[in-house]
Structure 1
């Protein structure tokens, strides 16, 4: 059965049944070591983790890329005391065969959630909101809104039906990918369906939750979400290459993105699809340099009070072995962070506090391989080699 966007759009490391279309496969593309450049990742020597481990990672990544038919891959792994590893392999464009650059920009999908929830938690630190406030205190018309709290929304336990699972939304997105959606429009698709469970009783990954949190931030701050995130999160974190686009704009250099979540089901170039439908749940753009920095800030709580960060990291079971979910963040076998999936792109950005290690993966496809997301396959393979006692698991949402 072919996947549909309703079951996977912006989902983080999902497990499903599907096979990649062979048209996405780029045989024989070389692995490129990072070189010195404007984004500062060129400090990694070609054998930055030692010749043995570096060679093993090179082979592992290329094997997964070819097996999963991923056009282009960027992997960054930083392990204090051992060194670092930064590589780009494959192509950024399957037509021109342009090599994948280390400093490419990509759409980061659900990693946007980490920025939205961080902004929300800053308002908690200021005493302007409380996590256990009901959403009805801020937004009217939310089904069961007097019982669903901001905490339930951030930890994916609200019970609200995911708007990306609505058949009409899927049709509208696939037939009008250039369309600009607003938050109220996308919420309305989900509100047509009954809630799936009582608030706080189960885990269910739902983008509806983050759209509502984005609206709360706007109402309380009096500012547009993009502006508030830029001012309160991106600027103090010194993330100069991370942005919240107004529409389909994309800074250079950027890889072309490929998906099979199209009307025909064929793999197509969807680089210029408008991500507005994902808004606070998944519309943002970043690159390797910024995601590396963000991974540690997110895991250590640099922008939050210790008390609020402790609340964020109070993770609960997801139903998937090895992975728990907190407030817009997950923990998977010791790695803390999030990943993203949006048509054409997938990312993984995680930090391992025990070793102060950071892993960032960026790819330009979201087409599954053997029932699993290709970014998950890469993250598992890389951590199995580099941190075998902390292998990335990462599944947080059923199909």
Structure 2
């Protein structure tokens, strides 16, 4: 969800939530260093732990961080801060959370699985599959939607959509009609001519999948993604509630008075572009399967990995390139594939080696973007790159001056 929309919600948020938190407890919880295992792991992990401990204590930093690094030997869990400021409970791999725009990779998984089965083609157009959409958009292909080169205007930046959310953050949208907000607008550029990240793209991808199968997108997720990858705690809700237990997400624009925004927004307004709820454990299972191409054949994987210049939102670690609903993050230590995302209260990174054998999920409990706090985003990307280096066993991640 765009940061401009998050800003428009703050006035409503302050008036609705007031002083919900007991700040004397909350402040001490934010500043307290993580305790479990911080000094017992290898030197590399201790350095990473110190970095996330410092990160949660920064002004505007997240109240909580949890990272899962998985390789052939097992899973290492590093965490700092808390999952809930009110109770001081620590983050857990089984905590639910909003996965933000990493949900776009799930729509890619559905679409590319259907391509592998012959039900969809990467060059299928909106005119062919969704003739009810504006004729001016008709030449846009599935490939362009998945790679954000479609030129579709972003519905989430439409003033009417933003006004509806600001007036009633829990408004229940008809997810299948989110593109109606921009149906009177032309394409922003000739399809395929350039890259421009748009939340509209993945709404259209989900609608194409529904059109060719006759099945709801939620059912396709269960059939084509959740079951094959054994995702136990992942869902696409329509409402604003989160399953217990969950990582509480916060607006920390006023660091002295963080506001819990975990259940502020209805997921119906994000749907296939960012509405999925999952856990760090499930997100780890997903990215290991998705990055490796476990859900479809080699020909589809080859098409997915035709890279063009383009960054995820927010930008991931290192140099970013865009594939089909996946990004290539070229770090100083090597390459991982994945996706990022942000949403009021949450910022996410999931990444894995191209063979899926090593993976990282990195979840924080506030929204950080280039528009909200570019310096903090730069720091976050540096920390993420250090975690990638640890994942790839690069000794440079041990450098205490890496930040």
Q: Which residue of 2 aligns with 1:234?
A: 226
1:155 aligns with 2:147: yes
Q: Which residue of 1 aligns with 2:302?
A: 310
Q: Which residue of 1 aligns with 2:112?
A: 121
Q: Which residue of 2 aligns with 1:5?
A: 5
Shift of 1:380: 3.0
Say whether the 8 Å CA contact 1:234–1:242 is kept in structure 2.
yes
Shift of 1:291: 1.3
Alpha carbons of structure 1 residues 304 and 345: separation in structure 2 relative to 1, 3 Å: same
Using CA pairs below 8 Å that are at least 6 residues apart, which structure has the higher relative contact order?
Answer: 1
- Aligned residue for 1:323, secondary structure, equals strand
Q: Which residue of 1 aligns with 2:42?
A: 51
Please, which of 282, 288, 294 is the counterpart of residue 290 of structure 1? 282
Q: In structure 2, how many angstroms separate the alpha carbons of the residues matched to 1:391 and 1:188?
A: 49
Alpha carbons of structure 1 residues 278 and 391: separation in structure 2 relative to 1, 3 Å: farther
Alpha carbons of structure 1 residues 164 and 391: separation in structure 2 relative to 1, 3 Å: farther
Q: In structure 2, how many angstroms separate the alpha carbons of the residues matched to 1:126 and 1:390?
A: 43
The root-mean-square deviation of aligned C-alpha atoms, in Å, is 3.1
Where structure 1 has 5 or more consecutive residues not aligned to the other structure, the ranges are 10-22, 35-44, 393-399
Q: Which residue of 2 aligns with 1:250?
A: 242
Shift of 1:281: 0.8
Alpha carbons of structure 1 residues 215 and 386: separation in structure 2 relative to 1, 3 Å: closer
- Aligned residue for 1:122, secondary structure, equals helix
- Aligned residue for 2:235, secondary structure, equals coil
Say whether the 8 Å CA contact 1:33–1:86 is kept in structure 2.
no
- Aligned residue for 2:137, secondary structure, equals coil
Alpha carbons of structure 1 residues 95 and 77: separation in structure 2 relative to 1, 3 Å: same
Alpha carbons of structure 1 residues 148 and 125: separation in structure 2 relative to 1, 3 Å: same
Shift of 1:357: 2.2
1:271 aligns with 2:262: yes
Q: Which residue of 2 aligns with 1:131?
A: 122
Please, which of 199, 202, 217 is the counterpart of residue 210 of structure 1? 202
Q: Which residue of 2 aligns with 1:380?
A: 385
1:31 aligns with 2:34: yes
- Aligned residue for 1:290, secondary structure, equals helix
Shift of 1:354: 7.3
- Aligned residue for 2:325, secondary structure, equals coil
TM-score (norm 1): 0.82
Alpha carbons of structure 1 residues 354 and 178: separation in structure 2 relative to 1, 3 Å: closer
Shift of 1:259: 2.8
Shift of 1:201: 0.5
Say whether the 8 Å CA contact 2:99–2:276 is kept in structure 1.
yes
Q: Which residue of 2 aligns with 1:89?
A: 80
Q: In structure 1, how many angstroms separate the alpha carbons of the residues matched to 2:201 and 2:381?
A: 23
1:100 aligns with 2:91: yes
Q: Which residue of 1 aligns with 2:328?
A: 331
Q: Deviations over 1:108-132 (max 9, x none)?
A: 0111111111111111112112110
Shift of 1:332: 0.8
Q: In structure 2, how many angstroms separate the alpha carbons of the residues matched to 1:193 and 1:390?
A: 51
Where structure 2 has 5 or more consecutive residues not aligned to the other structure, the ranges are 10-22, 398-403
More displaced stretch, 382-391 vs 226-235: 382-391
Shift of 1:33: 3.5
Shift of 1:300: 0.8
Alpha carbons of structure 1 residues 88 and 102: separation in structure 2 relative to 1, 3 Å: farther
Shift of 1:97: 2.8
Shift of 1:242: 1.2
Shift of 1:322: 1.3
Q: In structure 2, how many angstroms separate the alpha carbons of the residues matched to 1:331 and 1:129?
A: 24
- Aligned residue for 1:33, secondary structure, equals coil
Q: Which residue of 2 aligns with 1:322?
A: 319
Shift of 1:285: 1.0
Shift of 1:96: 3.0
Q: Which residue of 1 aligns with 2:20?
A: none
Say whether the 8 Å CA contact 1:348–1:375 is kept in structure 2.
no
